[in-house]
A and B are shown apart, each in its own frame.
Chain A
């Protein structure tokens, strides 16, 4: 199974800050990497797919990149609605594993 090691597990930041979340895959996953945002009590919502492509309607302050098997999600200029939990997921091969999540809260 492909392991997705996500860090940090939690992060405190202020409005307007820039934050970065990282996921490392245990082996190559090509471009089969997505990022999800989950608000408390809600289902996860796709933010970014195929490593760096923004889902329709997602603000441009969200961006993502990759370097080999390391993947990053960056939020530039945090807004109140961005404080949530973020997950990466690989869909290169089954089981389609998720990272353990990063909880982003207000400092």
Chain B
């Protein structure tokens, strides 16, 4: 079945770095764009970063630009998020999400599914 599994979360000190990973299975990973989304404790959802299916296109939220780097390895069905300069505001559950959009005879057809998330805690 379709699955995304994140890893790499944990406790990190302010100013520290962390690398999150996400591995996909059960679908054609290289056909999908990928996103990282964060959910801070008791708060809503914040989109962080996007990478296109080939890895050639990336976008970032202003809150993480120049601190976070998204990358993917389609040969390994994997997605990474390298995070640096972490602060307490970066604490939260980090989800990877896969997406694909097609136009069919019946109209738009979007796929979208998320991993279970990995918890990042930034604290001294």
Number of chain A residues whose Cβ lies closer than 8 Å to a Cβ of chain B:
22
A43 contacts B45, C-beta separation under 8 Å: no
A98 contacts B112, C-beta separation under 8 Å: no
Binding site for B on A (CB under 8 A): 31, 34, 36, 42-46, 49-50, 53, 55, 87, 89, 94-101
A101: min CB distance to chain B, Å:
5
For the A-B complex with A43-B117, A49-B110 known, give 8 more contacts whose Cβ atoms are closer than 8 Å. Answer: A50-B110, A53-B109, A87-B44, A94-B61, A95-B62, A98-B44, A100-B44, A101-B45
State which of A43, A49, A50, A89 has its C-beta within 8 Å of the C-beta of B95.
A43
Query: CA–CA, A94 to B95, complex, Å?
Result: 18
State which of A46, A53, A95 has its C-beta within 8 Å of the C-beta of B108.
A53
User: Is B29 an interface residue, CB under 8 A from the partner?
Assistant: no
A98 contacts B113, C-beta separation under 8 Å: no
B114 contacts A44, C-beta separation under 8 Å: yes
